[in-house]
Amino acid sequence: MASILTLRIHLQDIEPQIWRRLSIPADMTLAGLHSAIQAVMGWEDAHIHMFTIDGTRYGNPEDAAGGREILEEGNVRLAQILSDGMHFLYTYDFGDDWRHEIFVESIDAGGDGPQAPTCLAGENACPLEDSGGPYGYPELVEAVRSPKTADPEYLDWIGEFDPEHFDLELANKRLRALIKTSATRH
């Protein structure tokens, strides 16, 4: 049986904290983890991303800038580089700069957990795409909480967003959709 990792993922620089707990097979690649994070956070995979693990950058090598190498994330299995208690960084959308700190909470070598990626828990809604990063997000929340004083066009763009709502069932539905398309394993 394959090992199972339990990861806690939270967005940095946001209050109240936005986080997810994810159970995933250790034989998944970093590319698969990227897809799983997109699913459980509710992102749309519309922007560049990168993992930084022990000073090494992983992602799409074509996204490298400034002469700093980015290793191909699809070639690296989580079991090869992660250990219990480890922290690492996942950055999504270099314009908004959404930084996710990921903590390896446990590694079940017996593989007793779910063999497919599963979201176990979480709190608060993930910010909307292109909402301005940690510095613009408070403005979005304020507009939702005080709609009478907010720009009506901005409210139209926001739509039915509730910053305090997290839908565990929807997060797992999105993960199951990834599994059906085999996007989580490379």
Mean pLDDT of 18-39: 96
The CATH label, of 3.30.750.210, 3.10.290.30, 3.10.310.10, 3.40.50.720, for the domain at 4-126+168-180 is 3.10.290.30
CA–CA distance, 105 with 49 (Å, rounded to integer):
23
Distance of CA 171 to the CA centre of its chain: 11
Mean pLDDT of 93-118: 87
- Cα–Cα distances (Å) from 56 to 42, 59, 73, in that order, read 26, 10, 11
Residue among 78, 74, 100 at smallest CA distance from 10? 100
Domains of the chain: which residue ranges?
4-126+168-180
| Mean pLDDT, the chain, integer | 90
- Does position 1 have pLDDT exceeding 60, yes or no? no
Give the per-residue pLDDT at 63.
Answer: 75
CA–CA distance, 118 with 82 (Å, rounded to integer):
18
Question: pLDDT digits over 114-155, tens only?
Answer: 578 999 999 999 999 999 999 999 999 999 999 899 898 999
- Does position 75 have pLDDT exceeding 90, yes or no? yes
- Does position 183 have pLDDT exceeding 70, yes or no? no
First to last CA, the chain: 19
Are the CB atoms for 37 and 132 separated by under 8 Å?
Answer: no
